Amino acid sequence: DDEVKTGTGKSMYAGTVTIGTSGSAPNFVMKDTSRGGNYTTDLNGGSSGAGTTFTDADNIWGTGAASNRQTAGVDAHYGSQLTWDYYKNVHGRNGIFNNGQGARSRVHYGNAYVNAFWDGTQMTYGDGSGNTHPLTAIDVAGHEMSHGVTEATANLNYSGDAGGLNEATSDIFGTMVEFYANNASDVGDYLIGEKININGNGTPLRYMDKPSKDGRSKDCWTTSTGGLDPHYSSGPLNHWFYLASEGTGAKTINGVNYNSTSCNGTTFAGVGRDVAAKVWYRTLSTKLSSGSTYKDARNGAINSAKELYGAGSAQCKGIQAAFSGISVPA
Ligand code: ASN
Ligand code: ZN
Ligand code: CA
Whether the domain at 5-136 and the domain at 160-324 fall into the same CATH topology = no
Q: Report residue 47's pLDDT band, with 50, 70 and 90 as the boundaries.
A: very high
Interface predicted TM-score (ipTM): 0.94
Q: What is the pLDDT of residue 269?
A: 98
Distances in whole angstroms, Cα of residue 21 to Cα of each of 18, 32, 54, 80, 175: 9, 5, 10, 12, 25
In the chain, what are the domain boundaries?
5-136, 160-324
Q: What is the largest CA-CA distance in the chain?
A: 62
Q: What is the pLDDT of residue 177?
A: 99
Q: What's 91-125 look like in SS3?
A: HCCCCCCCCCCCCEEEEEECCCCCCEEECCCEEEE
**Catalytic annotation on 144?**
yes
Q: What is the pLDDT of residue 285?
A: 98
| pLDDT surpasses 80 at 49 | yes
Fold of 5-136: Elastase; domain 1 (3.10.170)
Q: Report residue 213's pLDDT band, with 50, 70 and 90 as the boundaries.
A: very high
| pLDDT surpasses 80 at 244 | yes
Instruction: List the shell of residues around ion ligand 3, using CB closer than 5 Å.
Output: 139, 178, 189, 191
Of 121, 116, 88, nearest to 104 by C-alpha is 121
**Spatial contact of 205 and 192, defined as CB atoms under 8 Å apart:** yes
| pLDDT surpasses 80 at 150 | yes
**Catalytic annotation on 167?**
no
Mutate to test the pocket of ligand 1, among 144, 159, 175, 198 (most ligand atoms within 8 A of CB): 144
Distance CA 91, CA 267 (A): 30
Q: What is the pLDDT of residue 8?
A: 98
Task: Kindly state if the Cβ of 139 falls inside 6 Å of ligand 1.
Answer: no
Average pLDDT of 198-220?
97
CA of 115, closest atom in ligand 1: 1
Residue type, 30: M
Mutate to test the pocket of ligand 1, among 83, 114, 117 (most ligand atoms within 8 A of CB): 117
Q: Report residue 135's pLDDT band, with 50, 70 and 90 as the boundaries.
A: very high
Of 262, 271, 286, nearest to 319 by C-alpha is 271
Task: Tell me the ligand closest to 150's alpha carbon.
Answer: 2
Task: Kindly state if the Cβ of 63 falls inside 6 Å of ligand 1.
Answer: no
| pLDDT surpasses 80 at 303 | yes
Write out the E strands in the chain: 5-10, 16-24, 27-29, 31-32, 38-42, 52-53, 55-56, 60-61, 104-109, 116-118, 122-126, 191-192, 206-207, 249-253, 256-260
Burial per residue of 106-122, b for 16 or more beta-carbon CB atoms within 10 angstroms, e otherwise: bbbbeeebeebebeeeb
173 C-alpha to ligand 2 centroid (Å): 11
Task: Kindly state if the Cβ of 144 falls inside 6 Å of ligand 1.
Answer: yes
- Kindly report, residue by residue over 115-130, the tens digit of the pLDDT: 999 999 999 999 999 9
Of 316, 296, 322, nearest to 209 by C-alpha is 322
Q: What is the pLDDT of residue 164?
A: 98
- Kindly report, residue by residue over 54-103, the tens digit of the pLDDT: 999 999 999 999 999 999 999 999 999 999 999 999 999 999 999 999 99
197 C-alpha to ligand 2 centroid (Å): 17
Of 3, 7, 79, nearest to 34 by C-alpha is 3
Average pLDDT of 108-117?
98
Of 1.10.1740.10, 1.10.3720.10, 1.20.1340.10, 1.10.390.10, the CATH number of 160-324 is 1.10.390.10
Region at 131 (left for phi over 0; alpha for psi -120 to 50; beta for the rest): left
Average pLDDT of 276-290?
99
Q: Report residue 2's pLDDT band, with 50, 70 and 90 as the boundaries.
A: confident
Q: Average pLDDT over the chain, rounded to whole?
A: 98
| pLDDT surpasses 80 at 114 | yes
